[in-house]
A and B are shown apart, each in its own frame.
Chain A
Amino acid sequence: MRMGITELAVKLRKREISAVELTKAYIDAIEKLNPTLNAYVHLTFDTALEAAEQADQMLKEDDAPLLCGIPMALKDNICTDGIPTTCCSKILEGFKPYYDATVWERLKKQGAVLLGKTNMDEFGMGSTSETSCYGAPLNPRNTNYVTGGSSGGSAAAICANLAVYSLGSDTGGSIRQPASFCGVVGLKPTYGAVSRYGLIAYGSSLDQIGPLTNSVKDAAIVFDAIKGVDRRDQTSVDYDYGSSMAECLDRDIKGIRIGVAEEFFDGINPEIKSKVEEAIKLFERNGAVIENIRIPAMKLALPVYYIIACAEASSNLGRYDGIRYGYRTASYSSIDDMIVKTRSEGFGDEVKRRIMLGTYVLSSGYYDAYYKKACLIREEINREFDAVFEKCDVLVAPTAPSTAFPLNCKRKSPVEMYLADICTVPVNIAGVPAISVPCGEDANGLPIGMQIIGRRFGEVTVLQVAHFYEQNAGQIIGAYEGGVRI
């Protein structure tokens, strides 16, 4: 059984292990496994050991924070002062920000030990992590399969126990879907619950940073540490969750109203469908009230998502021109030529596809037909979600319509890849929180994920229901053999 954050924190405080020893154990495991798994793309062992030493100093004090000395990883789109942050894109080759993302600043203050930056789909665009310029990470549960995406490296690192926890970002399912494919826990918080300052933007109105962990409790602890209003992000919200997340986990689920929407189960792999239905029965047996509900606008969520996300991406990615930082083409005849060549060479196909799509939907003459209409439908989806959460406390749904795909199989068909986000995207459109928890395996032994979705700032209930399931469903946590054993 692998250890969670609380158990490790106890061990560190009892001096059964030092932060430096713990960090070294993770470094060894990464050195051994990462060449195969490709979960990390930038390693920061030197600074990790320094941080661990400092953490050991902090741990001598009685009030050292819970995350002090715990080795972790960040997705490669979260800015880290002096450490490469490239969004796994050639265009940001060699880019080292001179500022920290707010989430990293908060964790650093707690004495976090950063092992490195994890692999991802280029700029978060993809559902397999195969669009990374560093090559795809492999699914530790079966290396012939993808990790999911775009936070594939972050999920793989947790699955293989190459970090105690990691942060990913979720624009349309990028935390939950790889969590589901790798059999780990992934939380996408409410939009605005966690500051986006320092998160390299993909779809600004959808992006949200969240943790990937081995347990719901760990997710609660990490979320607790990173959440909260930030004066540098106007979209962040000053929401008072009351007591700490982890303390709420053991509350009873009796009387909790769980919504089941048939729209989430359309076209889902039958194996997954039946596992999630089993879970629903488990909740019912334990006193939850099951409500059958409808979210008709959900069928429009995927096109709405691709219009809004791509529109915002086309604008957000305009700044990569080779002038100030990152990759610049080798030879050029004029500034226009330089920009065109830099972008042609620096961006991968999927990113180019989405920039083109986004530019198109914002162009005059098409704006009303696409972008504006998408915004209207987004409002309708929001209204339907609001109505749902008047009747229910949470929604339960599959995380993805299938388990992990074999490597390379989706690369030729982007639309097929887009469908992998069908269950996760509506949650980003509505800006509500959702968690993916492991929910058994398919016949090939690949993990299945279940989503628990809550109302805006309803993280406490989401985590509580997820925790109940985790504790009572007898799921095997950390089924992967290898990685660190403490």
Chain B
Amino acid sequence: MNYEIVCGIETHIELATRTKIFCGCTTEFGGEPNTHCCPVCTGQPGALPVLNQKVVEYAIKAGLALNCKINTKSHMDRKNYVYPDLPKAYQISQYDEPLCEKGYIELDSGKRIGIARIHIEEDAGKLIHEKGYTFIDYNRSGVPLIEIVSEPDISSAEEAKEYAEKLQLIMRYIGISDCKMQEGSMRCDVNLSLRKPGDSSLGVRTEIKNINSLSFIQKAVMAEAERQADILDAGGTVVQQTMRYDEATNTVTPMRDKENSEDYRYFPDPDILRFSIDEEKIEEIRKSLPELPFEKLKRYVNVLGLPEATAKQISRYRKVAEFFEGALAEGASVKNAANLIVGTIFATMGTEEEKELFDVLISPAQYAALVKLADERKINIGVAQATLQKMLETGKPVEEFIKPEDLVGISDEELEKLCREAMDANPKAAADVRSGKDKAINAMFGYIMKKTGGKADIRKAEVMLRKLIGQ
């Protein structure tokens, strides 16, 4: 393709506050239609909005995590338009003074995707079309959202996916949203245009609305770029319009023929006073932010010396990282603590969601107690894995499964005796090792493990065997 992709993404993220943005109604998902409602969130005549401070706090958190400048003075605007799911006929949003501006997300390549702005706003209700009628459920009405608008810095489908993935990860990490795309708590709109390489002016762009999975973002960008390229190659012009991505056919089709140039008649909402946020509050929130996943990843690799793949798997989930770091604080070794999480605990968790929740029965301290036994070679890795499995199933501490007599293990004299026996029982193997066939040593390991019921420290045995064989 002889074109450059110019792409920006607008992401709506539902904030995980307990109550709605302008009233005390619950934000709980689901519920019988129109049961999580009050005069305020259904826009009854005379009702007035009261801004939820937690929403402002969460939005600032998002802004700080995305390296934004936080505006200390801000206000809410009314965005006027008529739609049955919008009970006031305006959405309370932010227009010319968004809470956060001018941030960025860094991709793995080191490229930065600019964040133009983050603003807070309310969600609308939901239309349900049934039996030839349209019903409206206002349970979602007034659920707090932030809209994160990127600069058009994204230039490939892969970058688009990585951007959204990173955004999701960060938002989950700082605990302001669960960002479940299937449930709509994170929704992406993709703006895309093409231009000839080297051109500085932007081409005509289209907007793909409401993409609800990360892989669809990548596919949609690819499909739309190809569609636009075909048009341009044929000498045509791209029409500015709103598109829909159809995952079944992997095609992008127009939603509305023409982008209706709606006039939202924005103006400051007179019911909500301008608000200012003091620097102290911003600092307080900044301090409350956790170490972000990418910083963690870097630290795990550079300081803890973990292999990148393992470090990535652990740093990706905030609860896992906390568990891991908790075990380290209790004295567990980095390597064993990490490997047992990735190798054994993750094996019990099928989905991303389970890893995200990381709902394990044992505490980091209990986990550390087990890891330390492995660290000190009091048990070998196989026993550690099997024991951990039992601990995860029962929630019981390591002492329940490993008896003190097991721990003493095999004395050096005993080990030496066992090694001699193993050599005697496998004379050929011993000879092979002596002549350089290193793998042959495994036969003698097998003998020793069998005799000790798997308790022998295999590393120690190896050293002993090689000494006896005379290598």
Contact = CB atoms under 8 A, between A and B. Distances in A.
A99 B89 contact: no
Contact of B48 (A234, A311, A321): A234
Nearest to B45: A200
B45 A99 contact: no
Interface SS of chain B: loop
B403 interface: no
B84 A199 contact: no
B82 interface: yes
A407 interface: no
B271 interface: yes
A235 B273 contact: yes
Interface in A69-105: 77-79, 85, 87, 92, 95, 97-99, 101
A319 B46 contact: no
Given A318-B88, A363-B263, A79 B46 contact: yes
Nearest to B264: A364
Given A362-B265, A363-B263, A371-B267, A97 B46 contact: yes
A235 B272 CA distance: 7
B270 A205 contact: yes
B43 interface: yes
B89 A318 contact: yes
Given A204-B271, A324-B87, A318 B82 contact: yes
B420 to A, nearest CB: 84
Nearest to A204: B270
Contacts of B88: 318-319
- The residue in B39, B40, B42 that gathers the most chain A C-beta atoms within 10 A of its C-beta is B39
A315 B78 contact: yes
Contacts of A101: 46
A231 interface: yes
B48 to A, nearest CB: 5
Interface residues of A, number: 43
A356 interface: no
Contacts of B42: 324
A196 B88 CA distance: 17
Contacts of A323: 84, 136
Interface in A231-251: 231-235
Contacts of A232: 40, 48, 50
Contacts of A264: none
B361 interface: no
Contacts of A197: 46-48
Contacts of A321: 82, 84, 89
A231 B22 CA distance: 12
Contacts of B134: 335
Contacts of A95: 45
A486 to B, nearest CB: 34
A367 interface: yes
A43 to B, nearest CB: 21
B223 interface: no
B49 A234 contact: yes
A359 interface: yes
Contact of A99 (B47, B51, B78, B273): B47
A203 B270 CA distance: 9
B366 interface: no
Contact of B267 (A198, A233, A362): A362
B35 interface: no
Contacts of B156: none
B120 to A, nearest CB: 15
Nearest to A359: B265
Contacts of B273: 234-235
B270 A312 contact: yes
The 6 closest A-B pairs by CB, nearest first: A318-B89, A205-B270, A362-B265, A204-B270, A200-B45, A198-B46
7 contacts: A85-B45, A99-B47, A235-B48, A235-B273, A312-B270, A319-B88, A324-B87
Interface of B: 39-40, 42-51, 78, 80, 82, 84, 87-90, 134, 136, 263, 265-267, 270-273
Interface of A: 77-79, 85, 87, 92, 95, 97-99, 101, 196-201, 203-205, 231-235, 311-312, 314-315, 318-319, 321, 323-325, 335, 339, 359, 362-364, 367, 371
